[in-house]
Amino acid sequence: MTNDADMAALERLEQQQADSWGHDGAAFAATFTESADFVDVMGGHLHGRDAIAKSLQDGFDTFMAGTRMSASRERHVEFVSPGLAVVINSGNCVLQPGATECRAEDLSIQTKVAVKQDGQWLFQTFQNTRIRS
């Protein structure tokens, strides 16, 4: 795969996250390795794809039902090596049902580490942090 193909694969992975957000924890978690670490915006830490799927589905079934991920205002991808990339998305949020724009207090920055395993890109680490104004 070329860098263009790798970049497209990472974009598809992020699109899969956006498409599954708010309703399908298993599909969202499928974008992660089996041993992934996920740190949410409140500082909660989940380890492993199964834990990510369960926790998100619990949220999607209750307080996050019907929410959507916004597009990022800024995105930076750094290929550290052929099978390792760091993805930083800034200025995104979780949109509540009916919302069309992010509120300033909800904006966050996400740092993701992606690894290529058996020709497939997956996220190994995800960290989400609120942006302070």
pLDDT digits (tens, 9 = 90+) for 45-95: 999 999 999 999 999 999 999 999 999 999 999 999 999 999 999 999 999
What does residue 55 show for φ and ψ, rounded to 5 degrees?
-65, -45
Residues 99 and 127: their CA atoms lie apart, in Å, by: 24
Reported confidence tier of residue 1, pLDDT bands at 50, 70, 90:
very low
Structure-token pair, residue 7? 């970049």
Residues 60 and 86: their CA atoms lie apart, in Å, by: 27
pLDDT score for 3: 83
Please answer whether residues 106 and 93 qualify as being in contact, where contact means their C-beta atoms are separated by less than 8 angstroms. yes
* Burial bucket for residue 113 (CB in 10 Å: 0-12, 13-18, 19+): middle
Q: What 3-state class would DSSP assign to 27? A: helix
Run of H or E residues at 73: none
Reported pTM: 0.93
Mean pLDDT of the chain: 95
Does 6 have pLDDT greater than 90? yes
pLDDT score for 132: 87
Ordered domains of the chain (ranges, CATH) = 3-130 (3.10.450.50)
